[in-house]
Structure 1
């Protein structure tokens, strides 16, 4: 195996981020911006593994001398790197580089079945129609001049740079990239509300790139706890995105995690024997209003997730909620989920499920967020917080919070500042607006009052004293907005299929 000859030098955060963005730019033209992540992240991770192997090899030599055996040296290495599979072996291949890269990545995954299975995704590196040799070499050469070992970068830097690139992909590519990325400030707020603690078992049933799981670990560390005591679990249906989640966790110096790929509704894989595993914290920003999500088998779900009823076949929002509530530990469990406002007032089957959940007294808070925070949707969203055991002063009540005015305007997306996040978090935990600036409104509402409104949770009914007619108009407008977005998505999918079939507009 040939070791890299690049000299190690400590990188700044800006240099690292510039390198990552240059890697993305190397793909412009032959690769759709929405697919950049599938190419850049595996190459970054491969370089990181190789540079760390070199670093660990040097440590082994320092500790044991030049005569060490492969068996003894293996104890120094985080991952096994088979002969011929180092970064230098690939970058030194002048022709058919994609074939060599594909071979190396497959062998690395095979050599580390318990930790790296599927981590590099499913890119066909040897397909020069998709990725020309010139573009691949430009991508590889972007990383050739930097070292990613512990002497050059630390986990915080790598993790932050990784999140930077996720954000940049989402901004550059809109909905296609935004589907797997939740804005950091939203994640930060939701984690603060759920208050993860050392030793907790955490799960995200729609984990995307792993940002929610990583934020729980950062929150525990910032509070003075040991994040390595957390047991992090995620399920993600998309192969590329589940691979990105694994890479993301490793690059944040997190190793005790389980990321599984599959359909959470039809084939949940976070199991304890034949039952769903239970967790202290269940957190998610799942895809909104899924159609064809699996309603036909929900009534007889073997995991008991239909306790509150069967959601409509054309909208899986309450299926996510029911799944998450089923996986919440009795006593200590907390659930936090991002949802469209429609779950607060939709009728028919969804309305009956909402009623049953409210009667169970698991819902602690409804928090309406500012508009236009997400890359993947422009519809208003809210946070729903559930607890297996609510505080005594909130039993039989739901905390309603309108935080729609707490944001910083942006050109494409709005954001929430750290002050906004802290204000909303403090209001939730204390049950009052502590900043006194009028940016928030909140109220603890008795379940009897909610029942009197037909178990409608529209925030305006309780905080703005809207009449039934006014609330109905607002709900109709929100439903219309959701329907328009669904139509736009369907038209986009149709256009892509027509293009793939050779029909040009």
Structure 2
């Protein structure tokens, strides 16, 4: 089968939006289009005899195998579509509340729906895109990425660049029989890229279990459709705030992958600080004793004053690497990004040390939709695996040195270490001295009160 060009996929998507946008807003058409694509796919791959879908979890219905062409020229096509979605949801518990809510409250005329479905029929005849079970998952994910870019202009952000996820996955190396968790799962990119990695290594993806949380109902539904389109079977995606889950719901995990959300503009600085730290604590506490993780975040989080938090993490030797990424990479923010790599059971040679890596030294183009090049991803993974000093690129630093720097984790601070002594952070040193002096004063006061209480001891003048 001829490979479909991304430009053709994008053109098809934009043509559909052009037909629908006069009736729907950006949030409505995004969810609606992806639901129709997914349903069209099930109709193309599910035979009429009720044989299971290729994930072995979805069952064919009498409507799903039928072409939309058979339903056209009727009155109230939107009502027919509701019936179609209702039937497949009723037959497949995994799709409960996934498809029906995609039908917009706004009435779409038969003429508009006819035009839109005619366009899909024509595209299917030319490309067989919806019936190609091997490539549909990647196609669906590409459509999600394009819709994310369009909706970002409207202030919506639910997408992590897949190249960044590939870097995180390449560093953490998910494998068979793992439990993988994403507290802010979005559209499921951490899971689909993990699955791609495991399959490329010849692993059995059916042995892997995926857990995630998502608060937005439409993004939660899109995530479930995306994972099913990729053939993932063992998925447990909860529509809830992960921070309300103290890991009683799912337990702990072999691997945690997460992109910490961008705080809302209404949050105060104190609220942002607490918001970020809550997600950091949630991720670390959710990893099993020999597990690992990778967390993507704005670099500003690492520049905030979190000395007490990072002292606890580094004293337990859980931080393995910090990878600095350039600005204008994450959706929803122009700030630089960082990845922290967590490993609760490091190799002996890595104990007591942290690696700092900066994969790209030059600014990215002025665009809000940048991706990392494959060569940059490969170079960063190679540097991490080699675990050595590379001038102006990577440096391995002792936990003691990080403590001397006040537990600040900016990548640039440590890249020079290895060839020359680090710059001494006098501000952090004075802060630690004052804290120690205060603690000593409290301890002496407590001791004197105890001596006076038990021995009537009076401190001499």
Provide TM-score, normalisation by structure 1.
0.74
Aligned counterpart, 1:3:
none
| Equivalent residue for 2:259, pick from 272, 276, 285 | 285
Displacement of 1:255 in angstroms is: 2.2
Gaps of at least 5 residues in structure 1 are: 1-9, 58-72, 294-310, 472-505
Aligned counterpart, 1:450:
402
Which shows bigger deviation, 19-28 or 367-376?
19-28
Q: What is the CA deviation profile of residues 390-439 of structure 1, one whole-angstrom value per residue up to 9, with x for unaligned ones?
A: 122221111111224267636444332111100011111112367xxx7x
| Equivalent residue for 2:177, pick from 178, 199, 218 | 199
| Equivalent residue for 2:208, pick from 230, 245, 250 | 230
Displacement of 1:217 in angstroms is: 0.7
Aligned counterpart, 2:187:
209
Name the SS for the 1:155 alignment partner.
coil
Q: CA, structure 1 residues 398+121, in 2 after alignment: closer, same or farther (shift >3 Å)?
A: farther
Between the aligned partners of 2:59 and 2:371, the Cα distance in structure 1 is 42
Q: What is the CA deviation profile of residues 205-233 of structure 1, one whole-angstrom value per residue up to 9, with x for unaligned ones?
A: 11111111000010011122222222122
| Equivalent residue for 1:141, pick from 101, 118, 125 | 118
Aligned counterpart, 1:390:
346
Alignment of 1:238-387 (within 5 A): 238-267=216-245, 274=248, 276-289=250-263, 315-331=274-290, 333-347=291-305, 350-387=306-343
Between the aligned partners of 1:361 and 1:292, the Cα distance in structure 2 is 36
Q: CA, structure 1 residues 18+229, in 2 after alignment: closer, same or farther (shift >3 Å)?
A: farther
Are positions 1:23 and 2:2 aligned together?
A: no
Between the aligned partners of 1:119 and 1:151, the Cα distance in structure 2 is 22
Name the SS for the 1:325 alignment partner.
helix
Aligned counterpart, 1:154:
132
| Equivalent residue for 1:104, pick from 84, 90, 93 | 84
Name the SS for the 2:243 alignment partner.
coil
Q: CA, structure 1 residues 133+461, in 2 after alignment: closer, same or farther (shift >3 Å)?
A: same
Name the SS for the 1:101 alignment partner.
helix
Name the SS for the 1:445 alignment partner.
strand
Q: CA, structure 1 residues 84+223, in 2 after alignment: closer, same or farther (shift >3 Å)?
A: closer
Name the SS for the 2:288 alignment partner.
coil
Does structure 2 conserve the Cα–Cα contact (< 8 Å) formed by 1:96 and 1:126?
A: no
Between the aligned partners of 1:327 and 1:90, the Cα distance in structure 2 is 50
Displacement of 1:277 in angstroms is: 1.5
Aligned counterpart, 2:35:
42
Does structure 2 conserve the Cα–Cα contact (< 8 Å) formed by 1:27 and 1:135?
A: yes
Q: What is the CA deviation profile of residues 218-267 of structure 1, one whole-angstrom value per residue up to 9, with x for unaligned ones?
A: 00111222222221222111111111111111211222222221111124
Aligned counterpart, 1:503:
none
Q: RMSD over aligned Cα, in angstroms?
A: 3.1
Name the SS for the 2:339 alignment partner.
strand
Aligned counterpart, 2:355:
399
Name the SS for the 2:345 alignment partner.
coil
Between the aligned partners of 2:224 and 2:332, the Cα distance in structure 1 is 22
Q: CA, structure 1 residues 156+83, in 2 after alignment: closer, same or farther (shift >3 Å)?
A: closer
Which shows bigger deviation, 458-467 or 103-112?
458-467
Aligned counterpart, 2:72:
92
Aligned residues: 414
Q: What is the CA deviation profile of residues 347-398 of structure 1, one whole-angstrom value per residue up to 9, with x for unaligned ones?
A: 2xx4422222222211111110022112321111100000110122221111
Name the SS for the 2:287 alignment partner.
coil
Gaps of at least 5 residues in structure 2 are: 417-421, 429-461
Are positions 1:221 and 2:199 aligned together?
A: yes
Alignment of 1:483-502 (within 5 A): none
Does structure 2 conserve the Cα–Cα contact (< 8 Å) formed by 1:366 and 1:401?
A: yes
Between the aligned partners of 1:43 and 1:256, the Cα distance in structure 2 is 23
Between the aligned partners of 2:364 and 2:166, the Cα distance in structure 1 is 16
Between the aligned partners of 1:116 and 1:161, the Cα distance in structure 2 is 20
Between the aligned partners of 2:317 and 2:182, the Cα distance in structure 1 is 23
Displacement of 1:74 in angstroms is: 3.6
Name the SS for the 1:383 alignment partner.
strand
Q: CA, structure 1 residues 116+203, in 2 after alignment: closer, same or farther (shift >3 Å)?
A: same
Does structure 1 conserve the Cα–Cα contact (< 8 Å) formed by 2:52 and 2:60?
A: no
Name the SS for the 1:145 alignment partner.
helix
Displacement of 1:202 in angstroms is: 1.2
Q: CA, structure 1 residues 225+433, in 2 after alignment: closer, same or farther (shift >3 Å)?
A: farther
Aligned counterpart, 2:386:
430
Q: CA, structure 1 residues 367+412, in 2 after alignment: closer, same or farther (shift >3 Å)?
A: same
Provide TM-score, normalisation by structure 2.
0.80
Q: What is the CA deviation profile of residues 46-68 of structure 1, one whole-angstrom value per residue up to 9, with x for unaligned ones?
A: 11112222xx23xxxxxxxxxxx
Are positions 1:120 and 2:99 aligned together?
A: yes
Does structure 1 conserve the Cα–Cα contact (< 8 Å) formed by 2:388 and 2:396?
A: no
Does structure 1 conserve the Cα–Cα contact (< 8 Å) formed by 2:360 and 2:376?
A: no
Higher radius of gyration, 1 or 2: 2
